Structure 1
């Protein structure tokens, strides 16, 4: 159950490393191989699996993974115990990095949405909303709607942070994945963004996106004004 505290503020997320910093981490051929392997893996991989795949010493694999984790390209977590001994560490692609470096780039995703917009004649908000709903299809229910929402928007390349004030949530989009397109047609692209956020929030449940306050895409920092609902 949500507890309303009018002056309580909580920030979720931290600034992403720059594209240049992440590109340097991926510039090493072995680290790039590890990252692409994890992109294709449904449930991540551990050091033993990566060692077998690449044929390298496990200490070398660990060192490469540490650099990928530091660059926020990869997330390290503890796997569920399966018997005696220390639980294994498992590595998956960071959701925010997936939006930047995943198999389908941001402009490929935008091209799909614009094609749907032209084909259906629907509004950009509706096309974006339906895409947001699709992103969460099959996801398990959550008791942390803000966290789930931030994670999905990060996966789409927006690098979001969230701040609570009672039942109000301000989500700042620190990165715009479609900077050039917004400069060309801000009304259409920003409406797609708004619809996408509304669809994700609807699929997550317990949260409503009420408004998008756009900023200059070259500096990003657009803000989504959201509200937690009684189901949260």
Structure 2
């Protein structure tokens, strides 16, 4: 694409594609060391070219909601990247092929996708890191053995609106699988919210502390 002919735009595109989660202007400004107005101009070109998608992050406190950028679904399998909706399509295909539930398929994917080094770290932080890699913006609150992880954005917003049971089941399964791989953490439930606003909540507890 012509939009990727500019070296700065190409670097922006690769950073967003590799981030595997929505990325804001401030993060891109820090990464490239350019003025935020220049970053916005490059992002506008990438959005116009259909390479990136622009959306509004869930509000946090007062002030205007910030804009975030992610890989456009039409870009997946091109330019050497795999986007979130292609990964979702593979999981949905596995549900159809195997006849297993979304939770079961998600659990296998969560186990397979866990970093081998994650077992050596705090399981709560390990789960936060795993969910972040899957495109969420997780924030953990811990009170004794109880842990709440708020998923502040949904990487499959439009699909979750159309079929929340399937998408939320996959997400719960991913958390189960990651917890299995990490050890020491039990997922109690996923409390869903409107995916347009974010804020789904994983309720967990640290194993052996109850």
Matches within 5 A, 1:150-169: 150-169=128-147
State the TM-score, normalized to the length of structure 2. Answer: 0.65
State the TM-score, normalized to the length of structure 1. Answer: 0.59
Judge conservation of contact 2:186–2:205 (CA < 8 Å) in 1: yes
Q: How many pairs are equivalent?
A: 156
Other-structure match for 1:192: 170
Question: What does the per-residue CA deviation read over 1:52-98, in whole Å, with 9 as the maximum and x for residues that have no partner?
Answer: xxxxxxxxxx9863359xx9xxxxxxxxxxxxxxxxxxxxxxxxxxx
Find the residue that maps to 1:104 and give its secondary structure. Answer: coil
1:221 deviates by 0.4
Q: Which of 200, 203, 209 does residue 225 from structure 1 map onto?
A: 203
Aligned in 2, Cα 1:111/1:39: closer, same or farther, shift over 3 Å?
Answer: closer
Q: Which of 95, 106, 113 does residue 91 from structure 2 map onto?
A: 113
Judge conservation of contact 2:193–2:199 (CA < 8 Å) in 1: yes
After superposing on structure 2, the runs of 4+ consecutive aligned residues of structure 1 that deviate more than 4 Å are 37-40, 99-102
Find the residue that maps to 1:141 and give its secondary structure. Answer: helix
| Structure 1 portions without partners, runs of 5+ | 1-25, 41-61, 72-98
Judge conservation of contact 1:157–1:176 (CA < 8 Å) in 2: yes
Say whether residues 1:143 and 2:110 are aligned partners. Answer: no
Q: Which of 17, 32, 42 does residue 65 from structure 1 map onto?
A: 32
Find the residue that maps to 1:164 and give its secondary structure. Answer: strand
Matches within 5 A, 1:5-154: 29-34=6-11, 36=14, 65-66=32-33, 100-101=70-71, 103-136=81-114, 138-154=116-132
Higher relative contact order (CA 8 A, sep 6+): 1
| Structure 2 portions without partners, runs of 5+ | 19-28, 40-68
Say whether residues 1:211 and 2:189 are aligned partners. Answer: yes
